Amino acid sequence: MTVLVEAHPFQVVSEANAELGLPLDTVVISESVSIILEPREVLPSADLRDLWMSWLSGHFALLLPPLTAPSSRSPASREDRLMADTTAFVRGAFERGLPDEAEAAYVQLQELARTCRFLLGRANDLLQDNQ
């Protein structure tokens, strides 16, 4: 069975302009993560993988700054260590880029999408705490 995927355009945010206070569109982020994690029998094309990587890049540019901002918790809190490790993982993945081999690239995209989903949940928790 072949699954056709229609790539919808998402506005991609760079880390440089993420500080503009753009609203967090949880629906768009959730939808794009769901698209990437959708089970498929055929590996996505290189162009589609690149598009997904750009989506995730924009999502992380929005999600990471508020989640990694200094907190009122103790400096060595478990939460802060988790965010520091997650940030290091994400930044390392984007610095290295996608592997050349299609299956490895797709697996990396899935790992990043799951991480994005986790961070979206943490961002929603943070928003709820601040209301």
The per-residue pLDDT for range 53-96, each reduced to its tens digit, is 999 999 999 888 888 776 655 556 788 888 889 999 999 999 99
pTM for this predicted structure:
0.78
**What distance in Å separates the CA atoms of residue 70 and residue 68, rounded to the nearest whole number?**
6
Mean pLDDT over the full length of the chain: 81
Domain spans of the chain, in order of start? 44-67+78-131
Long-range contacts of 18-27 (CB under 8 A, 24+ apart): 18/61, 18/62, 18/64, 18/65, 19/65, 22/62, 24/62, 24/63, 24/123, 24/127, 26/120, 26/123, 26/124
